[in-house]
Amino acid sequence: MVQLPKLSPPSKKPEAEVDPEFAPLIDQCNKDFGALWELPLDDFKAAWLASPISLRPEVPSIEEIDVQVQKAPVSDGTEVEIQIYSPKGAKEVLPLMLVTHGGGWVVGSHSIEESVNRSVCVKSKVRVISVDYRMAPEYKFPYAVNDSWDVLVWCQKNAEKLKIDPHRIVVAGGSAGGNLAAILAQKARDEGVKGIVGQVLNIPVTCHPELFPKDKYKYTSFDVDNFDAPIIDAAKMMWFWEQYLEDVKPDPRHSPLVAETLKGLPPALVQVAGMDPLRDEGLAYAEALKKAGVDVDLKFYPGVPHGFGFFPSLAKVKDYNENVVAFVKRVI
């Protein structure tokens, strides 16, 4: 089974505010997700790949989308899989949303972000390209960053073939994918790559807990408030970090919050869950972006945990999806 790190629980923990729609789901949630962590690593990864997709009724059906799977080359000669979502029958050049999926840099696939991918593709009229970057522990940091960056550059170079506008690109992702999207936006700025007009950072990882600037921002979500939250708690998040990162040293390529400056970055949508151990680092990144003069749209969802999108019956999931659709429409 997966060996989680031993963390010291808080001596006193405030009573969590729980969304009334999520409250009846907590026991089943803990049972289902808890069972995954009893599996050996290979089975753990396979279970995530085999998990069925559950979508809200307003999410566009696959019949409204043309889906194409192909390979894109990365700088070390490897080819990684990409999945392209296009509005049904669309032949014209469209903006691009490049998606890096969640899963702690360890698990997951294109389907992790399926709800957002379909919604944005059809409702915002863009091509969505999801990157199946190489994952830890086999491929540790910075493989996920480098693969995602190489695909972004490849997309711009092949814009005509892909029928995308290289000057209207949104980088997007959830959780570890939100981490990668934030890093791509910084890297594009630093390397003078134009065309990134927005960044969607859903429940993002923005800083390793040992590097978090507690002197600047509130930080109780990880070690106190949401220490033992459903789906992802502090120990599980630390396990993901341990699989991904060998040396905990300040580096904006894994902890974008520690970047020297956030000035000059594109507009951002930051979505944060109230019962998430990552809550405060998402809020801190949104605050830091604002202080740097970046246009930030912050959406906060009290009473739901990290990955609450896995429960499409929740009304907040509709808002979560539609906020991405609206943001992408606005920035492109």
Q: Which are the catalytic amino acids?
A: 175, 276, 306
The Cα–Cα gap between 309 and 273 comes to: 10
Tokens of 180: 């990668």
At residue 232, the 3 state secondary structure works out as coil
The Cα–Cα gap between 109 and 111 comes to: 5
Q: Cβ distance 171 to 196 under 8 Å?
A: yes
Q: CB under 8 Å to 226, separation ≥6 — which residues?
A: 16, 233, 234, 275, 276, 277, 279, 305
In degrees rounded to 5, what are phi and psi of residue 248? Answer: -85, 90
Q: Cβ distance 105 to 244 under 8 Å?
A: yes
Q: Token match 């990157």: residue?
A: 131
Q: CB under 8 Å to 331, separation ≥6 — which residues?
A: 170, 197, 198, 266, 267
Q: Cβ distance 141 to 252 under 8 Å?
A: no
Beta bridge partners of 72: 80
Q: Among 57, 42, 176, 173, which residue's Cα sits nearest to residue 105? A: 176
Amino acid at 240: F
Q: Among 327, 309, 317, 258, which residue's Cα sits nearest to residue 288? A: 258
Tokens of 194: 């134009």
**Sheet architecture: strand order including 127-132:** 65-73, 79-87, 127-132, 94-100, 164-174, 196-202, 268-273, 296-301
